[in-house]
Amino acid sequence: MNPTDLALLDVAIEIAQSARTHGNHPFGALLADANGEILLRAENTVVTDGDCTGHAETNLMRMASHRFTAERLAQCTLYTSTEPCAMCAGAIHWGGVRRIVYALSEMDLYEIVGPSEEHLLLPCREVFARTQREIRVEGPADPLRAQARGVHAGFWGASDK
């Protein structure tokens, strides 16, 4: 990861904090072009929208697919505060984004949240390995690990570690 990647991940973590402030799960994502210009931002809206598919990355891909061509999306990078879940990885695949950069790994999140029927332990790299598209994944971002974990601190209740 380069300094631009880390700066954009920092913004994704800020978006995750915003989601938490708005009463949602602390996840945030953004889409940037090849020059690092932020094109779109999205936060988790599961609670406020009452929609289990309102994950930050899926919300972002819904917006992106309405605004940009598949060719343009293939040139973009999706930055996210936490590794995309299997559902979000599917949305990213079908949207055509070819590069994903995340701060906090799924396993780090699992350590924070603890065992849960809602948690699907399927790393995004495994989902992307089943596609015919080449999708580059970079993460976790060790320099931002503490900050990415921090947005979750105290959110998940008794099992929060």
* Given the residues 43, 57, 83, 106, the one annotated as active site: 57
Active site residue 57: yes
Q: What is the C-alpha separation between 42 and 44, in angstroms, rounded?
A: 7
Three-state secondary structure readout of 43-64: ECCHHHHCCCCCCHHHHHHHHH
Three-state secondary structure readout of 105-131: CHHHHHHHHCCCCCCCCCCHHHHHCCC
Query: Where in the sequence numbering do the catalytic residues fall?
Result: 57
